[in-house]
Structure 1
Amino acid sequence: MTRFIPLAAALLAASVFGSAHAADPTPPTAWYWHNWTDHDGVSHMTRCPFHDYDLKTMSKPAGPQWQDHVHEGNAHIISTVQPAHWDGSWHPDPKVQWIIPLKGSWYVTAMDGKKVVMGPGDVSLGEDQMSRRDAKGHIGHFAGNIGDGPVTLMVIQTDEQPTVDKPCRFH
């Protein structure tokens, strides 16, 4: 398993669980949605666990916290605000990227028809770059906003290479 950069790890950990604390010796399990592609080029959404936590400090003298190091390498961190009623149409993710809603709700629909609605506290891994256009012209995923307001997302684009047939590869 590869390791994760500290800033992105802190954002991710803060958004996926808040009930586990350092006094509890049992490592937590947190969840993310993985938009992955199978060998036929069809994208899917699968709920996946983070569960390889170590209890340690990120920076002394701060107390220990549960950390699951997922990736180490280059990353681009983008804050994006999608206007009200934003329509993402069918498209693959531009990079293997973590997407964390900060304000508002949005949805992702995979090519297999599974639709997942996410809001603040949810995490999604977009990895559908290897999808192939189907008979309906769909490729990747369809995304859009829920409700009448804008949606603010934190996007962490990684240098990971996209994979095929590896749902939940970051666990």
Structure 2
Amino acid sequence: MTARRRGVRGFDGSALRATRELRHMTAEELGRSVGIQASLISAYEEGRRIPEWRTLAALATALTTHVDQLRPGHATTMEDLRCAAGQGQDAAGLTAGLGRSGYAMLENGHTRTLKPDVAEKLARAWGVEVNEVCQAHAAAVQAAGAPAPVLEGAVLAGLAAHFGITPVALLGIARGLQDQTERRSS
């Protein structure tokens, strides 16, 4: 049997087993404490199944640990926080006072600035601390990397010549438009 595609990205079943064993719990005891069968705990630990966010949060609570302990090497993202709260991008956009696409840009790190009032609204809706939202956004920005160059090389020279302006002037216009777009979506 192969692992399901749905579930928490980065979940590590061996980390679940190690944490459970460190707490001297059996699969049956852990299952009882979160309201699932021991066979499902075994399936998670063996990588045959991947828990959904609510289940992972319940497992972490029962094991007195943080969900990130059960997904080593994976920083918590805004998507993780949103999904853990059971919210879709449309609802998160409404919560934040943004449209769905504006929120998606924020979640994916393409909007590089997270306004404090937006972070507070999302934290309240998701039941987390504001700093968790800010850290998740910072991770998204880092993962997104530097913005792709708008124009360069022969394309820049050709467009500048077409519009009868210098390449430096065209880059200035493009950067100004990019800044306006980022301000509007954040």
Please report the TM-score for the alignment, with normalisation by the length of structure 1: 0.23
Structure whose alpha-carbon radius of gyration is higher:
2
Q: Which has the higher helix share?
A: 2
